[in-house]
Structure 1
Amino acid sequence: MKKFILAITCIWGTLTFARETRDSIAVFKNDINDIVLDDCDACGCAAGNGSSGFESLLNPQFIGIKYFAQHYKAKENLFVKDLTQDQYFNTLQLWGRVPVTKNLSLYASLPFHFHDKKNMQGDIRISGVGDMNLMGIYSILKSEAKVHQLNAGAGIKIPLGRFDEKGISGVNPSFQLGTGSWDYQMVLNYQYRKGNAAVIINTDYTVKTENKKHYRFGNQWNYAATGFYQLLTGKDIVFSVKTGIQGEVYDGNRQFSEPLPNTAGSALYGKLGFEAAYKRFSLGSEVMLPAYSHLAGGDIEAKSRFSIFLNIGI
């Protein structure tokens, strides 16, 4: 409970600062200029973050909520060759982004996870607050008419989620609410816009550290390329469709500094979605399907992902 109160206090303080300063900051409603990190990785929401790389949003100042669902197939035990176990990772995420200066923004997110996996012996469910993300995002380059933009960011993941040492003994050690470790993030985002079209290229890297239980999840690299096309533009309404690819690469986990087998992997997804805005409200959704999946040495297979968010400009 103390961790939850601390996280809410951090987000509330950040957003309060935004309300005090927003009058001096220009808001470009139709500017595809927001980049933030998700809190989930390809093997589950707890053991990493930034799986979707950056997300473009229509409101540069916002507070909102996002739902993110992942489905995987895994080996139920060492004596079964087939991937028979369904694993479902679900996250409700409170998030916000506030400008501090013309070129610098602060981003914060707090997830609530509810996961379950289906065993022959019965279902296993866990739920609770996850790890909090805090990040600073800086605009390095912005050309005339905003044709070219380059943004970079750095941040930390605060270990508010509970790490269960028993959970690492399963096929998927990422079936957790949190990593139990302080992790560090670096992000880079390039945007090209011309007319009603835009292309965004993202990459981010997360350095994960050893937790108090002497367990360390592997570092994570994400990359993505997404194309946008604006179908509708009005005084109060904007509607865009998007499609692209997203890749993820995971280093192996370690315990007591010793490498653990079948914990590294990679995956490549295709994605399709939309983003819309009406006055201060923005809505977006995305479906992702794997083109390639080799996770945990082949013991886990990615099946699908789905996300939807609703934000309010502040």
Structure 2
Amino acid sequence: MSALQNIKYIIIGIVMLGFAKAEAHNPVNPCTKHEPFQVLCDLCGCSTSSGSFGFGTLSNANFIGLRYIYQNFESKNGIFENSPTSKETFNTVQLWAQIPVNESFYVTASLPYQDLTRDFNGIKENLNGLGDANVVGWYKHVFYKKKAENEIDFDNKKVPSGHSLQFGLGIKLPTGQFEQRLTDNINPGFQVGTGSLDGVFSLGYNYGNDSFGVNTLLSYYLKGENKNDYQFGDQFSYAVNFFTAIPKEKMNIMPFVGVSGDIYDPITQYGETLSDTDGNILNFSLGSELAIEKFIFGASYTLPVSQRLFGDNVESKQRVSVYVNFAL
């Protein structure tokens, strides 16, 4: 069994243990207040990996943690219905964090380890190694309730309205290895890294109260050219999520549903556009999060609703994510 598989099972075990503890009502000092769900972009380092993974938690806490992401794809090598296909599995274990700077600014960062497997005509190919890290700085603007003209406030204290905006600016670093030989595959996203320095620009809106919340996130990824003169197409990602809080004794449960998607520009190399390398995908997601003391356990399942990737030659099947975080 590989080291990555061991880590995967450890994370899943921790998440399941957290849910079991919740049912037993053993923990003390629960989290009783949760801010709106904050979805921040995560760059996995592969062009077919969704930019709308989400980088944050429903509880919107500052944290450091581990997340495991499973994705699988099927690529058709030919124009006919019976053309041979390859099955690709992407396993990612990610160290991620949200670190506060002050009341209005914070920084998010992630460092993934990738384990990718491709099975074509009975021949298996495996890639593994460090993926592309990313760092994003965020400014959060909170809207406050307006006071009535005849209201006298002796405390002069602002009351949050539940509405907020986030502005993000960051970079993705070429820490993952890019291999030119793999670009001949039907799915050129089968790479540990892109080999390029990319820019990240994001705008988010959140609303939340004690029992319900909604958020949106729009992100644009400006892809750079790597040393092989290979440039993945720019990417636009969007996400809308709805959640509710179910407070229990000494814990808080937050189920959510949402839609997300990505639009990819074509890949270019040596200044020429490569055919059938653009695409788009729309996903439906559902999941839940459990907060106990300073621990946050989460799980989500994502299924494509519609897609057209690489000239309909690549099909995304599903995505599963589990994580465990420690609130700072």
> TM-score, normalising length from structure 2?
0.81
Partner residue of 2:296 out of 265, 277, 282: 282
Match of 1:224 among 239, 243, 246: 239
Match for 1:265 among 279, 290, 294?
A: 279
**Alignment CA distance shift 1:35-1:224 (3 Å):** closer
Tell me the distance in 1 between the aligned counterparts of 2:89 and 2:118.
Answer: 6
State yes or no: 1:30 paired with 2:31: no
1:120 is aligned to 121
Q: Which residue is 2:22 aligned to?
A: none
How many Å separate the matches in 2 of 1:295 and 1:161? 23
- One-letter code aligned to 1:244: G
Instruction: Tell me the amino acid that sits aligned with residue 151 of structure 1.
Output: Q
What is the alpha-carbon distance in structure 2 between the residues aligned to residue 312 and residue 194 of structure 1?
A: 23
The one-letter code sitting in structure 2 at the alignment partner of 1:272 is: L
Unaligned runs of 5+ in 2: 1-30, 145-158
How far apart are residue 259 of structure 1 and its match? 0.3
Distance 1:303 1:117 in 2: 14
Write out aligned runs for 1:242-261 (5 A).
Answer: 242-261=256-275
Counterpart AA for 1:211: N
Residue 218 of structure 2 corresponds to residue 203 of structure 1: yes
Alignment partner, residue 173 of structure 1:
188
Q: Secondary structure at the match of 1:167?
A: helix
The one-letter code of the counterpart of 2:166 is: N
1:145 CA displacement: 3.1
**Residue correspondence of structure 1 range 71-90 to structure 2 within 5 A:** 71-76=72-77, 82=83, 84-90=85-91
Distance 1:195 1:59, change over 3 A: closer
Equivalent residue runs for 1:26-105 within 5 Å: 30-32=34-36, 34-40=38-44, 43-45=47-49, 50-58=51-59, 60-76=61-77, 82=83, 84-105=85-106
Query: Is the deviation greater in 32-41 or in 100-109?
Result: 32-41
1:91 to 1:161, Cα distance in 2 relative to 1, 3 A = same
- Is the CA contact (8 Å cut-off) linking 2:211 and 2:244 kept in structure 1? yes
Measure the CA separation in 2 of the matches of 1:285 and 1:41. 22
Provide the rounded CA distance (Å) in 2 between the counterparts of 1:34 and 1:112.
24
Aligned mates of 2:55, 2:203 — CA distance in 1: 9
1:240-272 deviations in Å (ceiling 9; x for gaps): 100011111000000011000010000101111
Alignment partner, residue 300 of structure 1: 314
Q: Residue 10 of structure 2 corresponds to which residue in structure 1?
A: none
The equivalent residue for 1:311 is 325
Using the TM superposition, give the Cα deviation of residue 276 of structure 1 relative to its aligned residue in structure 2, in angstroms: 1.1
Identity across the alignment (%): 33
Counterpart AA for 2:168 = G
How much does 1:152 deviate?
1.0
Relative to structure 1, the CA distance from residue 67 to residue 83 in structure 2 (aligned partners, 3 Å threshold; closer, same or farther) is: farther
Are residue 154 (structure 1) and residue 158 (structure 2) matched? no
Which amino acid in the other structure matches residue 278 of structure 1? I
Indicate the SS of the match to 1:166. helix
Give the C-alpha shift of residue 203 in structure 1: 1.0
> Which secondary structure state, in structure 1, belongs to the residue aligned with residue 98 of structure 2?
strand
Q: SS state of the match for residue 58, structure 1?
A: coil
* CA 110–54 in structure 1, closer or farther in 2 if over 3 Å, else same: closer
Separation of aligned partners in 1, 2:188 and 2:214: 35
Residue of structure 2 in register with 1:16 after alignment:
none
Segments of 5+ residues of structure 1 without an aligned counterpart are 1-26
How big is the shift at 1:77?
5.0
1:193 has 2:194 as partner: no
Q: Does structure 2 retain, via aligned residues, the 8 Å contact 1:83–1:299?
A: no
Point out which structure has higher relative CO (alpha carbons under 8 A, 6+ apart).
Answer: 2
Where 1:240 maps in the other structure, the secondary structure is: strand
Amino acid at match of 1:104: F
Alpha-carbon offset, residue 112 of structure 1: 0.1
Q: Distance in 2 between matches of 1:41 and 1:249?
A: 16
